[in-house]
Amino acid sequence: MTLTTEAKSLLLSLGVAEADFSGGTMPSYSPVTGEQIATLPVDTPETAAAAIERAKAAFKDWRLVPAPKRGELVRLLGEELRASKEALGKLVSIEAGKSPSEGLGEVQEMIDICDFAVGLSRQLYGLTIATERPGHRMMETWHPLGVVGVISAFNFPVAVWSWNTALALVCGNPVIWKPSEKSPLTALASQAILNRALARFDGAPENLSQVLIGTGEIGNALVESPDVPLISATGSTRMGRIVGPKVAARFGRSILELGGNNAGIVCPSADLDMALRAVAFGAMGTAGQRCTTMRRLFVHESVYDQIVPGLKKAYASVTVGNPLTSSALVGPLVDKLAFDGMEAALEEAKAAGGVVHGGARADVEGDAAYYVHPALVEMPSQTGPVTEETFAPILYVMKYTDFDEVLEQHNAVGAGLSSSIFTTDLREMETFLSARGSDCGIANVNIGTSGAEIGGAFGGEKETGGGRESGSDAWRAYMRRATNTINYSRELPLAQGVTFDID
Ligand code: NAD
């Protein structure tokens, strides 16, 4: 069976209508073989505007449904995802080039966030706050916000939608999703799965969740609409630089989940075996196409000659291959653009004095697919391409001497997503996690930079955009807060002792 027929049969089995993925004008490719697997009808700014109108109408009803009942819909979504896990996971592998375990893992994240959101639907708490006025009570209430626009990247084609949608739904908001133009099929499948949950749920308005297919132009229709109070945009910092100011200019709210340039520090006291395994997996897994992929590694001079030969060995022996037909750790890059970006970065690194190990194109599945051997680059210092994210499997390794200096270096890049330190020294560990330590949204000890759990708030600082999604109190961004003061006394104490002569 070709990937085209396999994708078609999965889509149909998941409940997507054939007209939604064939006969249109937007091609969709599988990075696994480079073959075109579908042609989708696309949305226009006009159809996007109509979707926003429909979502606004849905909001009027959905906001009135009690939150625990809204949670029941998300519980059903979790059930439907469990039932469709194999098929959706496989489609993720075909469309995003992930290994079967990564494809299934992504669907498991969707299930996990549903479970989390069901509990959350009974915990949308506000505070009661001490008031300075006698006979008064002051409290906070949290209300649904309105239409949530979700713009997502190709590399987590379904999990990011679920992080946003599970929370948005329990918070009382409809969702309009503009998936990456590189991964539209899994979006249609996810919507079909949600539709099955909706069919089993009594009391949801029409158009609670909609998908718009197209490029950034369609995302822009959401970004510029004053009727979409929250834009949750995941993708490159380049995209965030455009989207962020536009949403701010209309006083909208945004959750920006942008690029990362994540680093690890290997200290003298580190468990070196553990560090090696964590670094190799975090830097090469998913072919370096995770926002949390480890891209920079600082190694103390006393252990450099143990870590770097170990890494070279791991890089030389790692298997690169078709994720669907082999057990290779490293699958394809998403497309030619990603491959060109990697080649350019490696050239730049060489020009800046870097010594490159690996990095060549691998001959897998012919010319239309882009497989590479991951690259390990020993750099004399943090210069050239090291300070920017290249969305490919390149790990820049640098030697350090002084702990305070390495902390400075660690933080001296634009992005601020994920970070980790490998140490058994309590002082180094606590310093790394302290106010003068890592400036990232995620700071780990003795584990790699990737693999965040849904229970924590996910996101990063600086050029990563500052947004938080998923667990902890990330739900607050999806609601509006009202501070309420109630006077149950017979007095009306006015500020500054003002009185009116009205008796
Ligand atoms: P991308 O920026 O090319 O595209 C992301 C999404 O933004 C797509 O849906 C695209 O159509 C849309 N878009 C692009 N321009 C737009 C515009 N002007 N207005 C509205 N929408 C627009 O990113 P990508 O190549 O799909 O994904 C890789 C990038 O995403 C990497 O930088 C990676 O680090 C980042 N990423 C970040 C996170 C995170 O949580 N921080 C998660 C996954 C990926």
Q: Could you give the CA distance from residue 299 to residue 270 in angstroms, rounded to a whole number?
A: 10
Q: Are residues 84 and 172 in the same domain?
A: yes
343 and 307 assigned to the same domain: yes
Between the CA of residue 420 and those of 194, 237, 390, 417, 478, what are the distances in Å?
A: 36, 21, 19, 11, 29
Q: How many domains does the chain have?
A: 2
> Which CATH number do you get for residue 288?
3.40.309.10
Amino acid at 339: F
- 474 shares a domain with 355: no
- The CA-CA-CA angle for residues 357, 360, 361, to 5°, reads 155
Ligand 1 centroid–CA 499 distance in Å is: 57
Q: Give the three-state DSSP class for 320.
A: strand
Determine the atom of ligand 1 nearest the C-alpha atom of 182. 26
CATH (domain of 106): 3.40.605.10
Nearest CA to ligand 1 atom 10: 216
Evaluate whether residue 188 is within a structural domain: yes
Q: Domain for residue 21, yes or no?
A: no
Q: What pLDDT sits at residue 497?
A: 81
Question: What is the CA(233)–ligand 1 centre distance, in A?
Answer: 7
Residue whose token pair is 């995770």: 290
Would you call 378 exposed, middle or buried from its count of C-beta atoms within 10 A (0-12, 13-18, 19+)?
buried
The token pair at 118 is 């069901």
| Minimal-distance CA residue to ligand 1 atom 13 | 216
Q: Best mutation site among 163, 176, 234 for ligand 1, i.e. most ligand atoms within 8 A of its Cβ?
A: 234
Residue 395: Cβ within 10 Å count:
26
Best probe residue, ligand 1, of 180, 224, 390 (max atoms within 8 Å of C-beta)? 180
Residues 206 and 291 occupy one common structural domain: no
- In this structure, is residue 175 part of a structural domain? yes
> What is the atom index within ligand 1 of the atom nearest the CA of 389?
32
Asked if the structure places residue 9 within a domain, the reply is no
For residue 335, what are the CA distances in angstroms to 182, 389, 405?
9, 17, 38
Which alpha helices (H) appear in 412-468, and where do they start and end? Answer: 426-433
In this structure, are 214 and 306 located in the same domain? no
Here the tokens at position 180 are: 């990456």
Residues 58, 92, single domain; the answer is yes
Q: Quote the CA–CA distance of 159 and 471 in Å, as a whole number.
A: 13
pLDDT digits (tens, 9 = 90+) for 270-314: 999 999 999 999 999 999 999 999 999 999 999 999 999 999 999
Active-site positions? 257
Q: Atom of ligand 1 at shortest distance to CA of 238? A: 2
Q: Would you say 182 and 333 are in contact if contact means Cβ atoms under 8 Å apart? A: no
Q: Is 340 in the same domain as 240?
A: no
Pocket around ligand 1: residues whose beta carbon is below 6 Å from it? Answer: 151-156, 178, 180-181, 215-216, 219-220, 223, 234-236, 239, 242-243, 257-260, 291, 389, 391, 417, 464
Question: In 3-state terms, what secondary structure has residue 276?
Answer: helix
Domain interval for residue 198 = 44-258+465-482
Q: What DSSP letter does each residue of 100-115 carry, written as one string?
A: HHHHHHHHHHHHHHHH
Give residue 494's pLDDT.
83
- Segment 339-376, tens digit of pLDDT: 999 999 999 999 999 999 999 999 999 999 999 999 99
Answer whether residue 176 is part of any domain.
Answer: yes
Do 302 and 224 sit in the same domain of this protein?
no
Give a yes or no: residue 320 inside a domain.
Answer: yes
In this structure, what DSSP letter does residue 367 have?
Answer: T
Burial of 28 (0-12, 13-18, 19+ CB in 10 A): buried
**Ligand 1 atom index nearest CA of 334:** 25
Using the 3D structure, point to which of 417, 435, 454 is the last residue of a domain.
Answer: 454
Q: What is the pLDDT along the chain (503 residues), one digit of tens a residue?
A: 799 999 999 999 999 999 999 999 999 999 999 999 999 999 999 999 999 999 999 999 999 999 999 999 999 999 999 999 999 999 999 999 999 999 999 999 999 999 999 999 999 999 999 999 999 999 999 999 999 999 999 999 999 999 999 999 999 999 999 999 999 999 999 999 999 999 999 999 999 999 999 999 999 999 999 999 999 999 999 999 999 999 999 999 999 999 999 999 999 999 999 999 999 999 999 999 999 999 999 999 999 999 999 999 999 999 999 999 999 999 999 999 999 999 999 999 999 999 999 999 999 999 999 999 999 999 999 999 999 999 999 999 999 999 999 999 999 999 999 999 999 999 999 999 999 999 999 999 999 999 899 999 999 999 999 999 999 999 999 999 999 999 999 999 788 888 888 76
Q: Which atom of ligand 1 is nearest to the CA of 151?
A: 9
Strands of 355-358's sheet, edge to edge? 355-358, 375-378, 394-400, 294-300, 262-266, 418-422, 442-445
How far apart, in whole angstroms, are the C-alpha atoms of residue 424 and residue 382?
25
Under 8 Å between Cβ of 1 and 325: no
Asked if 429 and 469 sit in the same domain, the reply is no
Contact criterion met (CB below 8 Å) for 191 and 209: yes
Nearest-angstrom CA–CA distance, 135 and 131: 9
Strand order in the sheet with 253-257: 209-211, 175-178, 148-151, 230-234, 253-257
User: Are 91 and 237 in the same domain?
Assistant: yes
> What is the reported pLDDT for 326?
94
Would 218 be classed as within a structural domain? Answer: yes
For residue 277, the CA-to-ligand 1 centroid distance in Å is 29
**Are 303 and 358 within one domain?**
yes
239 shares a domain with 197: yes
Strand duo 36-40 + 26-29: pairing: antiparallel
Using the mean position of ligand 1's atoms as its centre, give its distance from the Cα of residue 467 in Å: 14
**Mutate which of 238, 239, 295, 419 to test ligand 1's pocket (most atoms within 8 Å of Cβ)?**
239
| One-letter identity of residue 99 | S
Q: Calculate how far, in angstroms, residue 226's C-alpha sits from the geometric centre of ligand 1.
A: 21
* DSSP class per residue in 24-84: SSEEEE-TTT--EEEEE----HHHHHHHHHHHHHHHHHHTTS-HHHHHHHHHHHHHHHHHT
Using alpha carbons, select from 8, 27, 5 the residue that is nearest to residue 181.
27
CA distance 393 to 412: 21
Ligand 1 center–CA 240 separation, angstroms: 8
Pick the last residue of a domain from 454, 473, 493: 454
Whether residue 352 is contained in a domain is answered as: yes
Question: What pLDDT does 97 receive?
Answer: 97
